[in-house]
Amino acid sequence: QKEVEQNSGPLSVPEGAIASLNCTYSDRGSQSFFWYRQYSGKSPELIMFIYSNGDKEDGRFTAQLNKASQYVSLLIRDSQPSDSATYLCAVNLLNDYKLSFGAGTTVTVRA
């Protein structure tokens, strides 16, 4: 079983819509959860992190964490063409700063 799983996509949404990305993880001891955005040919850049159950909002992005279900999601509201990228979910598994990444979900926002 993979440690971190994401829907591979691609996910296509119209401009202005909400994009919903899902991530599940296998280790119940996971502490912190990160969402990175990676444009084609570029390196990952941090969008936000979350470590408490519930929602965390930052601008147009909302991360949702449900530790009981071992599930973390990212919502992108009012999607823009500039949001077209691959979104990587990463999980801190051992509380030693090591991150395990999912394979990413590719999002395309149609103008």
Partner 1 sequence: EAGVAQSPRYKIIEKRQSVAFWCNPISGHATLYWYQQILGQGPKLLIQFQNNGVVDDSQLPKDRFSAERLKGVDSTLKIQPAKLEDSAVYLCASSLGVYDRGAGETQYFGPGTRLLVL
Q: Which residues bind partner 1 (CB under 8 A)?
A: 4, 31-32, 34, 42-46, 49-51, 88, 90, 92, 95-104
Q: Which two tokens stand for residue 47?
A: 């969008």
- Give the shortest CB-17-to-partner 1 separation in angstroms: 25
Sign of CA dihedral 49, 26, 10, 103: positive
Q: Judged by CB, which is closer to partner 1: 18, or 94?
A: 94
Q: Judged by CB, which is closer to partner 1: 3, or 70?
A: 3
- Give the shortest CB-79-to-partner 1 separation in angstroms: 22
Q: Judged by CB, which is closer to partner 1: 18, or 46?
A: 46
> CA 34 to CA 47: how far, in whole Å?
8
- Give the shortest CB-49-to-partner 1 separation in angstroms: 4
- Give the shortest CB-86-to-partner 1 separation in angstroms: 9
One-letter amino acid at 10 equals P
Sign of CA dihedral 67, 73, 77, 82: positive
Name the β-bridge partners of 75: 20, 62
